[in-house]
Amino acid sequence: MSSLPQERVEAPGAAEATRLLQAGSRLVSVFGAVEGDGTKVRYVVDVPGPGYRVLEQAVRGPLQSLTPIAPAAAWYERELQDQFAVKLTGHPDPRRLLLHDNWPREVHPMAAAVEPVPWADEPYQFLHVEGEGVCEVAVGPVHAGIIEPGHFRFSVMGDNVLYLELRHFYAHKGTEKLFQGTPVAYGQMIAESVSGDNCFAHAVAYCQAVEQALGVTVPRQAQLVRLIGLEMERMIAHIGDVGALSNDVAFVLPAAYCSRVKEDLMKASARAMNTRFWKGIAVPGGVTRAPAAEMLKRAVKQAADEFAKMANIILDRPSVQGRFEGAGVLRRTVAEDLAAVGPVARASGIITDVRHDHPYGAYRGLQLDVPSLGYGDVLARARVRIEEAAVSARLVFDALSQLAPGPIMAELPQAAAFEGFSAVESPRGELLYWVKGEAGKLSRCHIKSPSFQNWPALPHAVMGNVIADFPLINKSFNLSYSGCDR
């Protein structure tokens, strides 16, 4: 996003971040980097009006935790502790996050080279709810379906969930460290493996960050191809999610129908781009190929029409309404405190969408509808997804109409040192990549994933519901475990 200011505040970045957050800015990310002999922490905040700001803070001792004033910082700061050995004062929950029991406490993988690490057995304390009749239910990391790994610890009284604690990061793969030393032209391959079903959004966010850092302008045709890929990915995700929600309330026929429509779009991708997931398409500087417009137009139109009809059938069904309505309410104030993003935030009345707030690529100059609802329940999240899929279909259609022969790749200049960031609206919400490097190689890449941001909001939507509604509420969030755990 070359148009956005990336302001540096030399001295206390943490103090400036605190000031901005107290004045109503949204926390986007907090991350560390080893630079020279020291560690630097960067705060990314979204200031209403001016936009994203990156604030740097050198670590010279314990840092004051931002979590008491910005609860959204809680997991980021715990990650800093685990990864970079940054000490925090005043953090309300300083337990380890990424590194599980098997990691010795003195190991901090991003702070130093990791030698073979001995297996440890460090105890982890769950928070317990005590009292007569309170039971704990432990679920995961291996779940009962074709799902990613994660652990949910419920404290229940009868059917009612009193408290839910998440324990994730079973899929932690050390991805951010893999970028270090990787040539810029290969980084998107790692980005594509962060969250498989959103792999194109990850690849585009990475490429845009590199392009912003190197001052490259991507040809218009390549920007259109990226928009087409991003919106098809969103359609595929939302159609699959709405079908899965229907399945979770035992209305299986529309679920099968939606899975068929979703597969039609993936087959169309395979025909048009030779890849079901748009892998290998986005590369720094542009895209590797452009689709045949007419074939994709037909496929997208048919999928959008069929899905719209099926969505009506799902939402009209009283048994569906009875389960969706009022289930898993995420209150707007909670969503704001936790800086929730994506469809989850929009279903709780927060109008936030990177395509609208910080337009990039072919989204610049577009009039974009941002569907939003205030109820914050499963029904609202389903309806937001249904409306967004329709918007996406229109965007794909318009972009396909504008496709024309022309260059789809720009030359990447060699820069001695580069640093930049970029955000895209992935199907799950704001996805930001921050890159730094020199001489064609990356020295650090940070991924702000929407799932990392939204997972802490899930327990607030679940508590007070019956435990039997958990799969439905969880599905309505549909967060990525791998994207969160990286």
Partner 1 sequence: MIFDVIQRSLKAPNRLVTVDELLGRAEGSRMPEVNPALLTEEIARQACNVCPTAAFAPAKPQEKELLALDYGKCIGCGRCFEFAAFSPAERLTNCGASKAGLVRYFDFEHAAEVQIRPDAQEARREIFSLVGRALNIRQLDAGSCNGCEAEIAALTNPYYDLERFGIHFVASPKHADMLLVTGPVTRNMAIAVKKTYEATPAPKLVVAVGACGCSGGIFASSYAVAGPLEKLVPVDAYIPGCPPTPAMLLTGILEVLRRTARLKQSS
Distances (CA, A) of 109 to 98, 103, 194, 200: 11, 10, 18, 28
Question: Does the footprint of partner 1 cover residue 426 (CB under 8 A)?
Answer: no
Question: Does the footprint of partner 1 cover residue 399 (CB under 8 A)?
Answer: no
Which of positions 108-137 make contact with partner 1 (CB under 8 A)? 109, 114, 117
Under DSSP, is residue 135 helix (H, G, I), strand (E, B) or coil?
Answer: strand
- Read off the DSSP letter of residue 112: S
Cβ atoms 484, 168 nearer than 8 A = yes
Q: Furthest-apart CA pair in the chain: how many Å?
A: 71
In this structure, what are the phi and psi dihedrals at residue 52, rounded to the nearest 5 degrees?
Answer: -65, 140
Question: Does the footprint of partner 1 cover residue 326 (CB under 8 A)?
Answer: no
- H or E element that contains 344: helix 342-346
Tally of CA atoms within 13 A in the half-sphere of 161 that contains its CB: 25
Which residues share a beta bridge with 338? none
Candidates 43-51, 99-107, 205-213, 405-413 — which segment interacts with partner 1 by CB under 8 A? 99-107
Question: Does the footprint of partner 1 cover residue 172 (CB under 8 A)?
Answer: yes
Question: Does the footprint of partner 1 cover residue 181 (CB under 8 A)?
Answer: no
The least distance separating partner 1 from the CB of residue 358, rounded to whole angstroms, comes to: 26
Whichever of 376 and 429 has its CB closer to partner 1, that residue is 429
The C-alpha atoms of residue 445 and residue 437 are separated, in whole angstroms, by 9
Which of residues 34, 47, 111, 178 is near partner 1 by CB under 8 A? 178
Q: Which amino acid is at 324?
A: F
The C-alpha atoms of residue 381 and residue 455 are separated, in whole angstroms, by 15
The C-alpha atoms of residue 455 and residue 71 are separated, in whole angstroms, by 13
- H or E element that contains 271: helix 252-273
Map residues 299-318 to x or -, x wherever contact with partner 1 holds by CB under 8 A: ----------xx--x--xx-
Question: Does the footprint of partner 1 cover residue 404 (CB under 8 A)?
Answer: no
Which of residues 16, 197, 211, 388 is near partner 1 by CB under 8 A? 197
Within 10 angstroms of residue 232's Cβ, the number of other Cβ atoms is: 27
Whichever of 279 and 460 has its CB closer to partner 1, that residue is 279
Question: Does the footprint of partner 1 cover residue 56 (CB under 8 A)?
Answer: no
Number of H helices, E strands in the chain: 17, 13
Q: Which amino acid is at 91?
A: H
Rounded to a whole number of angstroms, the distance between the first and last alpha carbons of the chain is 24
Structure tokens at 431: 């996805």
The least distance separating partner 1 from the CB of residue 161, rounded to whole angstroms, comes to: 21
Which of residues 96, 100, 356, 441 is near partner 1 by CB under 8 A? 100
Which of residues 263, 337, 369, 398 is near partner 1 by CB under 8 A? 263
Whichever of 70 and 484 has its CB closer to partner 1, that residue is 484
Which of residues 60, 146, 365, 411 is near partner 1 by CB under 8 A? 146
Map residues 442-481 to x or -, x wherever contact with partner 1 holds by CB under 8 A: --------------------------------------xx
Whichever of 100 and 331 has its CB closer to partner 1, that residue is 100
Residues that bind partner 1 (CB under 8 A): 100, 102-103, 109, 114, 117, 141-142, 144-149, 169-175, 177-178, 186, 189-190, 193-197, 199, 253-254, 256-257, 259-260, 262-263, 266-267, 269-270, 274-277, 279-280, 288, 309-310, 313, 316-317, 480-483, 485
